[in-house]
Structure 1
Amino acid sequence: MFGLSAEWLLADGRLVPSSIVLSHPEQRVRLARACPEAVDAAVVAGDPCFDRILASLSHRRAYRAALGVPDGRRLVLVSSTWGPRSLLGRAPGLVARLLAELPADEYAVAAALHPNIWHGHGPWQVRAWLADALRAGLLLLPPRDGWRAALVAADAVVGDHGSVTFYGAALDRPVLLGAFPHDDLDPDSPVAAFGRTAPALDADRPLRPQLDRAVAEHTPGRYAEVTASTTAVPGRSAALLRTEMYRLMALDEPAAPPVVRRLDEPGRPESADVTALLTEVAWRGATAVLRRLPAAVALDRADAAKGHLATDLRETDERLLKLADVLHGGPADDPADVLAAFPGCHVAASGPVDGACRIRVRDAPPLTCRTDAPGLAASAVYAWLAAGRPLAALPKTAVLVTGTERRTATFTC
Structure 2
Amino acid sequence: MSERKRRVLIWASSPMNIVVLRPILDVLRHDRRISLFLTGKYHGEDNPLAIARETGLTGLHMVSLDQAKKLPADLFLTADRKRLGHGCKRKVLMFHGVSFKGRSITPKVKWFDRILLVGPYQRRKFAETGALREDDPRFELIGMPKLDRLARGEFDRDQIRAELGVPDGKPMVLYAPTWTEQSSLYHMGEPMLEELARMPEVHVVVKLHDHLYDMSRNSIDWAARLTSKPWDNVRLTRLGDIVPLMAAADILISDASSAANEFTLLDRPILFADAPELWRGERYGSTADLDTWGRKGGIVIERPADVRAAIRRSLENPAEFSAIRRQIAADLFAYPGESTGRAIQAIYREMGLEPPSAAELERARSPRPAGPPLNILHVASHGDITRGGAVQMLTIVRQLIRRGHRVSVVLNNAPENVGRFEPRLRELGAARVACFPMQADGVLKRLRIQRQFRKWYREGNYDVVHTHRQEALGFVLRALKGERVPALLTNRGTTYRFASAADRKAYHSPRLDRIIAVAHAVEAVLVREERIEPERVSVVYGGFDTEAYARPSGAALRAEFGIADETSLVGCIGAFHKKKGHGLLLEAFARVRRDLPQARLVLVGDGNRGPLERKIERLGLGDAVSFAGFRRDIPDVLAALDLSVNTSTEGEGLTGALRESLAVGTPVVATDVSGNREIVIDGVTGRLVPVNDVDAAAEAIGWALRHPETMRAMAAEGQRLVWNQCADTVQAERLEAIYHEILETKRESQPTG
Structure 2 equivalent of residue 232 of structure 1: 334
Residues 1:18 and 1:142: Cα distance change in structure 2 (over 3 Å) = same
Letter in 1 for 2:229: A
Per-residue CA deviations over 1:200-237 (Å, capped at 9, x if unaligned) read 12426464232111221221444111222331111111
2 CA distance for matches of 1:158 and 1:224? 18
Matches within 5 A, 1:201-240: 201-203=301-303, 205=305, 207-219=307-319, 220-240=322-342
Q: Contact 2:187–2:275 (CA<8 Å) still a contact in 1?
A: no
Greater C-alpha Rg: 2
Letter in 2 for 1:154: A
2 CA distance for matches of 1:123 and 1:152? 31
Per-residue CA deviations over 1:141-189 (Å, capped at 9, x if unaligned) read 21623x2212111111111121112222331111111125456474677
User: Is structure 2 residue 263 aligned with structure 1 residue 162?
Assistant: no
Letter in 2 for 1:178: A
Matches within 5 A, 1:300-319: none
Residues 1:82 and 1:247: Cα distance change in structure 2 (over 3 Å) = same
Tell me which protein shows more strand as a share of its residues. 1
Residues 1:243 and 1:213: Cα distance change in structure 2 (over 3 Å) = same
Q: Contact 2:116–2:141 (CA<8 Å) still a contact in 1?
A: yes
Structure 1 equivalent of residue 292 of structure 2: 191
Q: Contact 1:4–1:31 (CA<8 Å) still a contact in 2?
A: no
Structure 2 equivalent of residue 78 of structure 1: 175
Q: Contact 2:177–2:183 (CA<8 Å) still a contact in 1?
A: yes
Structure 2 equivalent of residue 46 of structure 1: 143
Residues 1:246 and 1:216: Cα distance change in structure 2 (over 3 Å) = same
Runs of 4+ in 1 over 6 A off after TM superposition: 1-4
Structure 1 equivalent of residue 122 of structure 2: 27
Residues 1:94 and 1:223: Cα distance change in structure 2 (over 3 Å) = farther
2 CA distance for matches of 1:208 and 1:10? 43
Q: Contact 1:99–1:136 (CA<8 Å) still a contact in 2?
A: no
Structure 2 equivalent of residue 133 of structure 1: 229
2 CA distance for matches of 1:51 and 1:158? 22
1 CA distance for matches of 2:289 and 2:100? 16
Residues 1:165 and 1:134: Cα distance change in structure 2 (over 3 Å) = farther
Residues 1:123 and 1:85: Cα distance change in structure 2 (over 3 Å) = closer
Structure 2 equivalent of residue 381 of structure 1: none
Q: Give, in angstroms, the shift of residue 55 of structure 1.
A: 3.3
Identity, in percent, stands at 24
Matches within 5 A, 1:316-335: none
Structure 1: tracts of 5 or more residues without a match: 263-413
Letter in 1 for 2:178: T
State how many pairs are aligned. Answer: 256
Structure 2 equivalent of residue 36 of structure 1: 132
Residues 1:110 and 1:204: Cα distance change in structure 2 (over 3 Å) = closer
Letter in 2 for 1:208: R
Q: Contact 1:45–1:241 (CA<8 Å) still a contact in 2?
A: yes
Letter in 1 for 2:327: E
2 CA distance for matches of 1:161 and 1:203? 16
**DSSP-derived class of the 1:139 partner:** strand
Residues 1:16 and 1:187: Cα distance change in structure 2 (over 3 Å) = closer
Structure 2 equivalent of residue 102 of structure 1: 199
Which of 207, 211, 214 is the aligned partner of 1:116?
Answer: 211
Q: Give, in angstroms, the shift of residue 129 of structure 1.
A: 2.3
Which of 128, 140, 153 is the aligned partner of 2:248?
Answer: 153
Q: Give, in angstroms, the shift of residue 27 of structure 1.
A: 1.6
Which of 61, 65, 87 is the aligned partner of 2:184?
Answer: 87
2 CA distance for matches of 1:204 and 1:243? 46
Per-residue CA deviations over 1:86-134 (Å, capped at 9, x if unaligned) read 110211314531343211xx22110011111112457992223214436
Q: Contact 2:99–2:289 (CA<8 Å) still a contact in 1?
A: no
Residues 1:236 and 1:207: Cα distance change in structure 2 (over 3 Å) = closer
Residues 1:68 and 1:261: Cα distance change in structure 2 (over 3 Å) = farther
Residues 1:94 and 1:256: Cα distance change in structure 2 (over 3 Å) = same
1 CA distance for matches of 2:221 and 2:182? 19
1 CA distance for matches of 2:211 and 2:314? 29
Letter in 2 for 1:130: L
2 CA distance for matches of 1:115 and 1:150? 15
Residues 1:154 and 1:6: Cα distance change in structure 2 (over 3 Å) = closer
Structure 2 equivalent of residue 68 of structure 1: 165
Q: Contact 1:159–1:178 (CA<8 Å) still a contact in 2?
A: yes
1 CA distance for matches of 2:310 and 2:102? 38
2 CA distance for matches of 1:226 and 1:45? 17
Structure 2 equivalent of residue 253 of structure 1: 355
Letter in 2 for 1:237: S
Structure 2 equivalent of residue 59 of structure 1: 156
Q: Give, in angstroms, the shift of residue 249 of structure 1.
A: 0.8
**DSSP-derived class of the 1:91 partner:** helix
Q: Contact 1:23–1:229 (CA<8 Å) still a contact in 2?
A: no
Alpha-carbon RMSD across the aligned residues, in angstroms, is 3.2
Per-residue CA deviations over 1:287-328 (Å, capped at 9, x if unaligned) read xxxxxxxxxxxxxxxxxxxxxxxxxxxxxxxxxxxxxxxxxx
Q: Contact 2:192–2:304 (CA<8 Å) still a contact in 1?
A: no
Structure 1 equivalent of residue 425 of structure 2: none
Tell me which protein shows more helix as a share of its residues. 2
Residues 1:254 and 1:197: Cα distance change in structure 2 (over 3 Å) = closer
Letter in 2 for 1:253: P
Residues 1:228 and 1:55: Cα distance change in structure 2 (over 3 Å) = same
Higher relative contact order (CA 8 A, sep 6+): 1
Structure 1 equivalent of residue 30 of structure 2: none
Q: Contact 2:101–2:289 (CA<8 Å) still a contact in 1?
A: no
What TM-score do you get using the length of structure 2 for normalisation? Answer: 0.31
Structure 1 equivalent of residue 726 of structure 2: none
Structure 2: tracts of 5 or more residues without a match: 1-97, 367-753
User: Is structure 2 residue 274 aligned with structure 1 residue 179?
Assistant: yes
Residues 1:92 and 1:249: Cα distance change in structure 2 (over 3 Å) = same
Q: Contact 1:157–1:175 (CA<8 Å) still a contact in 2?
A: yes
Residues 1:53 and 1:94: Cα distance change in structure 2 (over 3 Å) = farther
Per-residue CA deviations over 1:7-60 (Å, capped at 9, x if unaligned) read 64547xx94211111011232221123422682211101101111222345521
